[in-house]
Amino acid sequence: MAPVTRRTSFPKVVIERDSDSEQSSSDDDEQEQEEEILEDEENGVIENAKIEKLEVGFDANRKGKTPITLTLRKVCKVCKKPGHEAGHTTLNCPHRVTTEHGVVPAPRRKTSKPLEYVFERQLRHAIPAIKPKYVIPDQVNCAVIRYHSRRVTTLEFHPTKNNILLSGDKKGQLGVWDFEKVYEKVVYSNIHSCIVNNMRFNPTNDCMVYSASSDGTVSCTDLETGISSSPMNLNPDGWQGPNTWKMLYGMDINYERGVVLVADSFGFLHLVDMRSNHRNGDAVLIHKKGSKVTGIHCNPIQPDILLTCGNDHYARIWDMRRLEAGSSLCSLEHKRVVNSAYFSPISGNKILTTSQDNRLRIWDSIFGNMESPSREIVHSHDFNRHLTPFKAEWDPKDPSESLAVVGRYISENFNGTALHPIDFIDTSTGQLVAEVLDPNITTISPVNKLHPRDDILATGSSRSLFIWKPKEKCEPIEEKDERKIVVCDKAEKKRGKRKGDNSDESDDDGFISKLKKPKLKQTEWKLSRCSKKG
């Protein structure tokens, strides 16, 4: 009996167009597929399927109609190459980590813009030529397991107290954790009714924090008492259907004007006066009508300059002194949804964006050529609907303004276990400076925040919070120190899991089981159990 061999070719389907004038929206993809066919033909891979496809295509061309070519070949979403599929457990993708060959530099164009001249003459010399030695927090120092009832969506460090971390979750809860004492923590569950998307401290009162939520409200919360007020509610009549329900995502504070800027899921920007705690003026359309505005950032040097990003595949620069629909100073085009966009933290001269097309984009100067980014860095951060969006953020302590941190979707193999590292990337070269991981953290870590003053990284992974510190700065854990890891009991009875929405409930349970297994004795964490406050 002849041996049975698997078919190595991929079937092709050709669909004829109805009219000659109709243009193809995937000409580039077809050209890439034709190039792949020719390459495979040379290697003897594609035989009958290619010939059949070409014959049908020629028949269609003789009739004066342009065919559409479809293929069942799977390609990687990250590097667009066949042979492997980029999921969060892919190990053979060459771009699963960011390396220098993944950088796409922008072409140098000779321009005579006055702003670029000023930058080269007055600002370029102030940028340090030698980068400082990066200090990477790469060891878990303490953690709170199952701190929130749903997955963590946002983190924020206290502006004056170095050991206080704020966290928001999918259910609308706001947590306050003293990670030096570990057990000092509280969760306020009456702030919002659903996802907390952003938090900012009041610049004149560090006990007050503003938060924006998908319930359409902006809340101002006193961290000492837990009492909150709602300066703005975009849904005063409650749920009237998805076409009218407004959600708030991007938020920042202009400390010079004393206003809170928030943007909704319909493309509008709203202002809230911090002195009166009331809405100020009318909403302004800043992105495509009906599209979500995912982020807002005020320039640290000139707060009147805004950077926004949204689902319309654009990041835009605005001037608050001339804020009206269609008046953006610059529009930075992307290929897919832009998750975040930030000015550099010290000079405000650079821009870092995170897009769903698995690319980080960097503009080295807002005074130079803004038509194309200075670099595009290939990085795996495409996600599904059960994850908080990945957002690359600058290191606020880096004087060279080149170090960024971002979680990774594709995993690394660690002794047979798929782990999802947190990447530290040099944005000036695209090189991977460090990948931070721990064998006991098997969940994806999309929410990461670097401390503004200390060498500390805070991570929100599923419902848990982790604090990373450099190994040389981590104090050795003695036998008497048993409060480095806190496992919180569930604040409510386990609900029946809905189909397709059980990721928040199961991730940390798997973490606990991993932690208790005797084969993972290499960890130095100490485990304790406590009841949840709040």
| Residue-wise pLDDT tens digits, 69-87 | 655 566 776 666 776 655 4
Q: Is the predicted pLDDT of residue 201 greater than 90, yes or no?
A: yes
DSSP string, 131-149: PPPP----EEEEEEET-SS
Q: What is the pLDDT of residue 276?
A: 86
- What the block records as the tokens of 173 is 């809860």
- What pLDDT shows up at residue 64? 55
Return the number of other C-beta atoms located less than 10 Å from residue 44's C-beta: 8
Average pLDDT over all residues of the chain: 76
Least-confidence region, from 88-102, 111-125, 177-191, 404-418: 88-102
Q: Backbone phi, then psi, for 329, in 5-degree steps?
A: -75, -30
Q: What's the pLDDT tens digit per position in 513-534?
A: 554 444 433 444 433 333 333 3
Specify the higher pLDDT residue, 12 or 458. Answer: 458
What pLDDT score does 415 carry?
78
State residue 38's pLDDT score.
40
pLDDT 10s digits, 320-331? 999 888 889 999
CATH topology of domain 90-104+140-470: Methylamine Dehydrogenase; Chain H (2.130.10)
Whole-number pLDDT of residue 112: 57
Query: Which residue from 102, 106, 138, 86 is spatially nearest to 432, judged by alpha carbons?
Result: 102
pLDDT digits (tens, 9 = 90+) for 151-186: 999 999 999 999 999 999 999 999 999 999 888 889
Residue 11 has pLDDT above 60, yes or no: no
Q: Tokens 């908080």 identify what position?
A: 388
The residues spanned by each domain of the chain are 90-104+140-470
Instruction: Tell me what percent of the residues of the chain surpass a pLDDT of 70.
Output: 65
Q: ∠ CA 100-394-428 to the nearest 5 degrees? A: 30
Statement: residue 434 has pLDDT above 80: yes
| Whole-number pLDDT of residue 115 | 59
Phi, psi of 99 (to 5 degrees): -125, 170
Q: What is the pLDDT of residue 164?
A: 94
**pLDDT score, position 508:** 53
Residues β-bridged to residue 393? 405
pLDDT in the model for residue 489: 62
Q: Coil, strand, or helix at residue 19?
A: coil
**Contact in structure between 376 and 359 (CB atoms under 8 Å):** yes
Contacts of residue 78, defined as CB under 8 A and 6 or more positions apart, other chains included, come to 86, 93, 95, 96, 358, 378, 380, 382, 410
pLDDT bucket at 381, cuts 50 / 70 / 90? confident
Q: How many CA atoms lie within 13 A of 402 on its CB side?
A: 19
| Choice among 40-49, 111-120, 258-267, 460-469 with the minimum mean pLDDT | 40-49
CA distances 492 to 188, 462, 505, 532, Å, are 14, 17, 12, 10
Q: What is the mean pLDDT of residues 389-417?
A: 89
- How far lies 402's CA from each of 31, 303, 427, 505, in Å? 36, 21, 5, 37
In this predicted structure, the answer to whether residue 341 has a pLDDT above a threshold of 90 is yes
18 vs 183: which has the higher pLDDT: 183
Tokens 């329900």 belong to 245
Query: How far apart, in whole angstroms, are the C-alpha atoms of residue 379 and residue 93?
Result: 11
| Nearest-10 crossing angle of helices 48-62, 27-42 | 140
- What is the rounded CA–CA span in Å between residue 35 and residue 126? 47
> Average pLDDT for residues 441-467, to the nearest whole number?
93
Task: Please compute the mean of the pLDDT values over residues 201-209 and round it to a whole number.
Answer: 91
Going by pLDDT thresholds of 50, 70 and 90, the confidence category of residue 4 is very low
Which range is least confidently modeled, 97-101, 349-353, 486-490?
97-101
CA distances from 17 to 25, 314, 415 (A): 12, 32, 52
* CA 506 vs CA 125, 140, 195, 462, 495: distances in Å: 52, 22, 19, 9, 12
Whether the per-residue pLDDT at 240 is higher than 80: the answer is yes
Q: Helix or strand or coil: residue 465?
A: strand
CA-nearest of 355, 359, 282 to 312 is: 355
